[in-house]
Amino acid sequence: MRSIRVGLIGWGTVGCGVIQVLRENEADIRNRLGVPLELRRVADLDIDRPRPVSVPRDLLTNRIDDILNDPDIDIVVELIGGLDAAREVIRRAIDSGKHVVTANKALLAHSGNELFRVAAERGRAIGFEASVAGGIPLIKALREGLAGNRIQTIFGILNGTANYILTRMAEGGLSFEDALGEAQQMGYAEANPALDVEGIDTAHKLAIASALSFGTPIRFDEVYTEGISHIDPDDIQFGEEFGYSLKLLAIARHMDGRIETRVHPTLIPRHHVLASVKGAYNAVHVQGNAVGNIMLYGMGAGMMPTGSAVVGDLIDLARDILGSTPGRVPALAFQPDRLAEIAIKPIADVSTCYYFRFSALDQPGVLSKVSGILGKYHISIAAVIQKGRRKASSVPIVMLTHEALESNVRAALAEIDQLDIVTAPTQIIRIENQETNNFF
């Protein structure tokens, strides 16, 4: 029986991982598949720079047409990243009758609906396990393992770089910049690390996971997104004093006919299992109406874990090619004509608990002015501490609230920040705890 032949475009960190996994596990893969999975060609603009994983010279090319126009290649792996050029590569691969595997979450967040539609029309499939949560098989779990469920919520740590930075700031006392530098050295960060630290990469992944969970098209533009670059190490410290850990959390919830999709720094109880996810690890909690609560945990970034996800997709596609069943599982888990435009809840309508750090003068009557305004907007205080006493300058006053409506919180803080006793804009961090969700 013939082999299944693969052309790989993009010989970077993930490309090296894919080549290494194919090489190291060649015999197991052949035994699982029944035929060899053969790396036929590797394309990159620069084929001379030394890489951690080498490729025989005769497999290398700097012309992607050598892959796209090769009739013997069954599956094209797109690992060049970015938007326009990668979209073009995938469109051309599909037009040439090839199946595609990609790790490109940004591209799928922006153009996934179009690419999946075109692929389905041509009877081709796109594998994208590596696009969300690195080595964790979350896409497979949502599309197949949990297909018997109505999925209710997803809570996840989906960006290894941001999680690494927060972990090193909390435990190693590192500055934000030093922690980011370390994450970059270890190969976790995006080429543009703003995608990691501003929450955009997490939002790309959440947009994909939310669509798969709730049966909607991908709607990246409607994900509320806030990153970690404005987090002060003091906030991590104060949160810990209240028994909380700080994580960049991706939250998707289908409730009362609307969907919440939001990414923001979140304080979660320190004893909670998600709080123990450290470094570049990712973890995703999924709640389904049949299965209950499940957690998936593993490396969310890096050469070999992401290579593992890509090769898993290659084996899936190879099986579908051999069995003549490509497209057996719909790309977005639901049949394309059954995807629903369920309304997304604006952030102003979200209710949750909050951490506020006010910067205020240390003088009598300050707390009563602040709490008076909070009371006016139906915001109930759960705890408060004032740190230090500095007569002339301001002091941090940290307050935790019970569940409150975001629009009320914003209106209250706009008034509070106008008070002459308040010296800097108030820091605000959302909290997930038992009051907001029984999973915590």
- Which CB sits closer to ligand HSE, 80 or 431? 80
- Which CB sits closer to ligand HSE, 158 or 398? 158
Q: How far is the CB of 208 from ligand HSE (least distance, A)?
A: 11
- Which CB sits closer to ligand HSE, 252 or 344? 252
b/e map of 160-181 (b: 16 or more CB within 10 Å)? Answer: bbbbbbbbbbbeeebebeebbe
Let me know: does 352 contact 431? Beta carbons within 8 Å: yes
- Which CB sits closer to ligand HSE, 133 or 374? 133
As to burial, measured by CB atoms within 10 angstroms (0-12 exposed, 13-18 middle, 19+ buried), residue 1 is: exposed
Distances (CA, A) of 263 to 231, 249, 312: 14, 6, 28
Whose structure tokens read 């977005």? Answer: 332
Q: How far is the CB of 23 from ligand HSE (least distance, A)?
A: 22
- Which CB sits closer to ligand HSE, 161 or 352? 161
Q: Exactly one of 98, 205, 247, 345 is catalytic; which is it?
A: 205
Q: How far is the CB of 318 from ligand HSE (least distance, A)?
A: 24
CB atoms within 10 A of CB 32: 12
CA 340 to chain centre: 22
Q: How far is the CB of 413 from ligand HSE (least distance, A)?
A: 31
Phi, psi of 389 (to 5 degrees): -145, 110
10, amino acid identity: G
* Distance from C-alpha of 310 to C-alpha of 102, rounded to nearest angstrom: 7
CA 238 to chain centre: 26
Q: How far is the CB of 305 from ligand HSE (least distance, A)?
A: 9
Q: How far is the CB of 226 from ligand HSE (least distance, A)?
A: 17
- Per 3-state DSSP, the chain is made up of helix, strand and coil in percentages (nearest 5) of 40, 25, 35
* Distance from C-alpha of 132 to C-alpha of 30, rounded to nearest angstrom: 26
Q: How far is the CB of 144 from ligand HSE (least distance, A)?
A: 21
- Token couple for 56: 């025989």
Distances (CA, A) of 362 to 375, 384, 390, 396, 421: 21, 15, 7, 9, 8
As to burial, measured by CB atoms within 10 angstroms (0-12 exposed, 13-18 middle, 19+ buried), residue 59 is: middle
- Is 278 in the active site? no
Which residues contact ligand HSE by CB under 6 A?
134, 159-161, 188-190, 196, 201, 300-301
- Which CB sits closer to ligand HSE, 44 or 190? 190
- Which CB sits closer to ligand HSE, 8 or 189? 189
Q: Give the residue numbers annotated as catalytic, written as ranges.
A: 205
